[in-house]
Amino acid sequence: MPLSISSASVPTFVQTLTALSKILDKAAAYCEAKKIDPSVLLSSRLYPDMLPLVKQVQLTSDFAKNCVGRLTGEAPKFPDEEKTIPELKARIAKTIDYVKSVSAAQIDAADGKDVTFPIGPQQTLTLKGEDFLLHFVLPNFYFHATTAYDILRHCGVEIGKRDFLGRS
């Protein structure tokens, strides 16, 4: 049986976003235990020219919701206003609720659909639905989720591979 784009997307998004939310719980506990202002972690980067943790979480959310939205209609807009761990967790929860609200049939119907999306301030790219998911969204989604994990790990939060995979 072939793998559908709904089964390759929604469960993947939910698993990783849920794990990311739990990792943020561990980050909050770490900050409390070590008497660290959580804003220090939220503004941390792996390298000066990389985006901070808060933006990595926002982008992880965006790739999930924008994928489902672009495949099935129009994605909801979430302003990038989060400044705290609870606000980031709320954004993740809202993203999970949205991606779970769209039926598998709606997503699978977009398999061969042309999806046009921005790839910069003045450029767009068009891919078929399956290619959009597999060759653009999933690599970007995992890049930002992994970078968020890496920032927290680099800052000393005690998390491991099982946390990233949502198996802890």
| pTM of the predicted model as reported, rounded to 2 decimal places | 0.96
For the chain, the domain total comes to 1
Cβ neighbors of 55 (< 8 A, separation 6 or more) are 80
Boundaries of domain holding 83 = 5-165
Q: What are phi and psi of 20, to 5 degrees?
A: -65, -40
The string of pLDDT tens digits covering residues 38-95 is 999 999 999 999 999 999 999 999 999 999 999 999 899 999 999 999 999 999 999 9
- Give the CATH number, domain containing residue 48: 1.20.120.450
Cβ neighbors of 163 (< 8 A, separation 6 or more) are 19, 22, 23, 26, 149
Average pLDDT, the chain: 96
pLDDT of 105:
96
